[in-house]
A = this chain, B = another copy of it.
């Protein structure tokens, strides 16, 4: 099956999932992001690459933080941004998703940045939209959050030269995490030595090993000798769903403390997609500590999204 994300020439046309992308393509994204990462130090931190393009933030699920980073990335590429909170707009008049898409296409927009509670929403839109439009997945259900995974890879590359020598651990609610799923795929494509997932059994997908990871239920065993420690956000609703006893209990078993972090390599970096729950999945002094790269992840999020936006637009050839 042809990868929906790629143009006939193999260029990145949509960015929906890490799955099926080549190491060359991921590296091209990281290299392009690097060219944008220095922009904030320039006198004018904008480039005219997407001037006149209209980028639509189609957020069916509210997320101020993610929407903001996409909006800033688009603005710094000089694109015009239309932010639509779909939950509260057109669909309230009973219009179908496809009709909403058709109408926006007719208004000659160039890109959809899609956030949706249903897995596959971005794919569905990409399959059904006009050929001149690019679709970027900003998080779909429990499926994928590929721009988050790429900004994580970018941040890791800033600190660790060689992916193939790395042992990484992802800690927390693997079962419900689209972030973790996308990270695991990226790590495997980039040839990371070992990907570990550390979680209680109730928060692990069945057959999780088939994703290419080693499973640990004990955080202290899992952290030993790791170079990258990725904490996941604990959704409070897991407690009410009886998957977990309490926040305090979770922190006791799976929270990242100073003592536990000592089990990892001394130059290990600590990551988190944010927003963090201090004292639930991570101790405050670790989050703000010397090994934390959490705020670098946020900064890199702009550069990486600028890279993905400009690359997908370039795939349309004459249009840029």
Contact = CB atoms under 8 A, between A and B. Distances in A.
A58 to B, nearest CB: 12
A236 B234 CA distance: 43
Interface in A256-301: 274-278, 295-296, 298-299, 301
A295 B71 CA distance: 27
Interface string A102-114: 1111111000000
A104 to B, nearest CB: 8
Given A75-B80, A82-B72, A299 B46 contact: no
A75 B65 CA distance: 22
A108 to B, nearest CB: 4
Given A94-B275, A295-B103, A108 B52 contact: no
Interface in A77-107: 80, 82, 84, 89-90, 93-96, 99, 102-107
A68 interface: yes
Contacts of A299: 106-108
Given A84-B64, A277-B94, A107 B44 contact: no
A32 interface: no
A45 interface: yes
User: Size band of the A side of the interface?
Assistant: 35 or more
Nearest to A288: B102
8 interchain residue pairs of minimum CB distance? A44-B52, A64-B89, A106-B298, A40-B108, A95-B275, A106-B295, A106-B299, A46-B52
16 contacts: A45-B108, A46-B52, A54-B75, A64-B90, A72-B107, A94-B275, A95-B274, A95-B275, A95-B276, A96-B278, A99-B275, A103-B274, A106-B296, A106-B298, A107-B299, A107-B301
Interface of A: 40, 42-46, 51-54, 62, 64-65, 68-69, 71-72, 75-76, 80, 82, 84, 89-90, 93-96, 99, 102-108, 236, 274-278, 295-296, 298-299, 301-302, 319
Given A94-B277, A99-B276, 14 more contacts: A43-B52, A44-B52, A45-B52, A65-B103, A68-B84, A72-B80, A72-B107, A75-B80, A90-B275, A96-B278, A99-B274, A102-B295, A108-B299, A108-B302
